[in-house]
Amino acid sequence: MSQRAFGKLLGVSATAVQLWERGDTVPDTDNLAKLAARSGYTLEEFLRLLDGKAVSEAPEINDIVKKIQFLPLGQVALIGRAVADRFAAAAEVSGD
């Protein structure tokens, strides 16, 4: 992904992304939170990764699926909407 596309995804300039990559500046807390969310981590987990520390393992997908099977349909609909939004964002970034 280009610096420009990545910056657009986070709402910052390509120059900001370039400065982060070079280590000239660091993202502010809001952008760190966005980076963490886009990476599938909480901010705390993301900061641990940046410090080179271990992050606890994510729950197994089978456990998640089992739990979804017993949720009320309203909650399943919320999960479905989140999944659709995630796919739409990924398609937008990739240009599909």
Which structural domain, as residue segments, surrounds residue 89? 61-94
Q: What is the pLDDT of residue 24?
A: 94
Distances in whole angstroms, Cα of residue 92 to Cα of each of 1, 31, 41, 95: 12, 19, 21, 5
Question: What total of structural domains would you count in the chain?
Answer: 2
CATH of the domain at 20: 1.10.260.40
Angle at 19 (CA atoms; ends 13, 21), nearest 5 degrees = 105
Least confident of 37-46, 50-59, 85-94: 50-59
* Overall pTM surpassing 0.85 (yes/no): no
Residue 56 inside a domain? The answer is no
CA pair distance 39, 37, nearest whole angstrom: 5
What average pLDDT does the segment 64-87 reach? 89
For residues 12 and 35, membership in a common domain is answered with yes
